[in-house]
Amino acid sequence: MSEKVLMKGNEALAEAAIMAGCKHYFGYPITPQTEVAAYMAKKMPKTEGGVFLQAESEIAAINMVIGVASTGKRVMTSSSSPGISLKSEGISYLAGCDLPALIINVQRGGPGLGGIQPSQSDYFQATKGGGHGDFHLLVLAPNSVQEMVDMVFKGFDLAEKYRMPAMILSDGTMGQMMEPVSLEKGVVNEYDKSWALTGTKGERKPNIVNSLYIAPEELEKLNFERYERYKKIEAEEALYEEYLMDDAEICIVAYGVASRVAKNAIDQARAEGIKVGMIRPITLWPFPKKVLSEAADKVNKFISVELSMGQMIEDIELAIRCKKEVLLCNRTGGMITTTEDVLNKIYEANGGKN
């Protein structure tokens, strides 16, 4: 174990990316993610070959990401909700060009310019594409500063393994919260990058990175191929954590900061004798459908705890084929669900206190 340091979630994301060998960061300031860019500005120039560039806009930043990703180099950008909307054209192009990159979204309340306080209301945007066309992003949702570090390594690894963009879906609380963290180097495996634009030196045919296909047969074929890859990811890469699920009669599903609040409520409810547990998705896409579907045969009710107006709840209902009722416990717009909110919803699912 390396000695622990005290870090903000945003700083941990930046430090982990540098540790993972990312030498290119392009960004634009926006609350509550600015510390990612600020940390990169201080540290990246001191890293050998490191480039920090504050672009003139979010759109410019994501297009710089496309450029570096085309050469097979590790690259990252970060923003918060409105900025991610601006980047969404470029994100679709990354997917269309089959390019790996890591995108951080430190969510704030929306829609529109919204607010600066934490939110999880970009769930649909992140998990259902995040731009036009048939595609998916890998979506990772850490719930501690330590897990932020781990997910940066995981994000780069999966992105390069499957040649697609990955997103870390954080939020204002996770970005601003300070926790002790052990900066251990994770693993990013080496994958074939013979597709990258590295110069032919006259020795091979040029590689082409492109997302424009006028011939519909060709475009359809590429989309079919991409979705074969997505099937494999759904089968093999879903990550989740189970908490007190062995004898649970009520199953809470929550990710990120909401899962921390939910855990406190579960502990209190357990102390009162209510059998409640949690399945915490760590990947939101692929969504941990299998474990939820199995849980549906054991528990009586589900509760989706989320800081949005009922977005993840749709994926839960789909995963369990609506076998059991799913209650919603939510706040939005920058407000955070309290332990009491969740506890009251547990009582409701339980048909009252025990």
Residues that bind other proteins (CB under 8 A): 4-8, 11, 15, 31-32, 35, 38-39, 42-43, 116, 118, 172-173, 176-180, 183, 257, 260-261, 263-264, 267, 336, 338
Based on CB atoms, which residue is closest to other proteins, 179 or 314?
179
Smallest distance, Å, CB 61 to other proteins?
20
Based on CB atoms, which residue is closest to other proteins, 196 or 335?
335
**Residue 333 in tokens:** 């717009």
Smallest distance, Å, CB 172 to other proteins?
7
Smallest distance, Å, CB 228 to other proteins?
40
Residues whose CB is less than 8 angstroms from the CB of residue 197 and which lie 6 or more positions away in sequence, other chains included = 70, 71, 72, 207, 209
Smallest distance, Å, CB 263 to other proteins?
5
**Residue 131 in tokens:** 């731009």
Amino acid sitting at position 67: G
14 contacts 40 by C-beta, under 8 angstroms? yes
Smallest distance, Å, CB 180 to other proteins?
5
182 contacts 4 by C-beta, under 8 angstroms? yes
Based on CB atoms, which residue is closest to other proteins, 73 or 345?
345
Query: For residue 166, what is the enclosing H or E element?
Result: strand 165-171
Based on CB atoms, which residue is closest to other proteins, 75 or 174?
174
Smallest distance, Å, CB 145 to other proteins?
10
77 contacts 93 by C-beta, under 8 angstroms? no
Burial string for 167-196 (b: 16+ CB within 10 Å, else e) reads: bbbbbbbbbbbebebeeeebebeeeeeeee
Nearest CA-CA partner of 156 in 24, 15, 12, 22? 22
Smallest distance, Å, CB 302 to other proteins?
21
Based on CB atoms, which residue is closest to other proteins, 42 or 353?
42
Based on CB atoms, which residue is closest to other proteins, 13 or 158?
13
Residues whose CB is less than 8 angstroms from the CB of residue 320 and which lie 6 or more positions away in sequence, other chains included = 292, 293, 295, 296, 302, 326
Based on CB atoms, which residue is closest to other proteins, 118 or 142?
118
